[in-house]
Amino acid sequence: MGRWFEPSRGSGLVIGHLESSKLRKFFSFSLKISTIFPTSFLYFSKKSLIAYTILCLIPFFAVSFANSLPNSSKTPIFSQSEQIILILGKPGNTQGKLYFFAADGGEWKEIVSRVPVWFGRSGLISADKKREGDGFTPSGSFPVKRVFGYTRRSMRNLEYTQIRRKDHWSDASNSKHYNQFIRNYEKGATSLWNSPIYQLFIAIEHNTNPSIPGYGSMIFLHPWDETKPTSGCVGLKFSDLETIIQNLNGNKNPFILIVESEEEI
Strands 220-223 and 200-203: antiparallel
Which of 241, 260, 247, 265 shows the shortest CA–CA distance to 83?
A: 247
The alpha carbon of residue 21 and the mean position of all alpha carbons in its chain are separated, in whole angstroms, by 28
Bridge partner list, 83:
102
Average of pLDDT values for 75-84?
78
Residues 183-195 as b or e (16 or more Cβ within 10 Å = b): eeeeeebeebeee
Q: How far apart are CA 206 and CA 227, in angstroms?
A: 25
Mean residue pLDDT across the chain:
79
Q: According to the model, what pLDDT value does residue 104 have?
A: 84
* Annotation says 222 is catalytic: yes
**Dihedral sign from CA coordinates of 52, 1, 90, 195:** positive
Q: How far apart are CA 248 and CA 156, in angstroms?
A: 7
pTM for the full model?
0.77
Model confidence over 200-217: pLDDT tens digits? 999 999 999 999 999 999
Average of pLDDT values for 75-82?
74
Choose the catalytic residue: 56, 168, 206, 233.
233
Is residue 61 over pLDDT 50? no
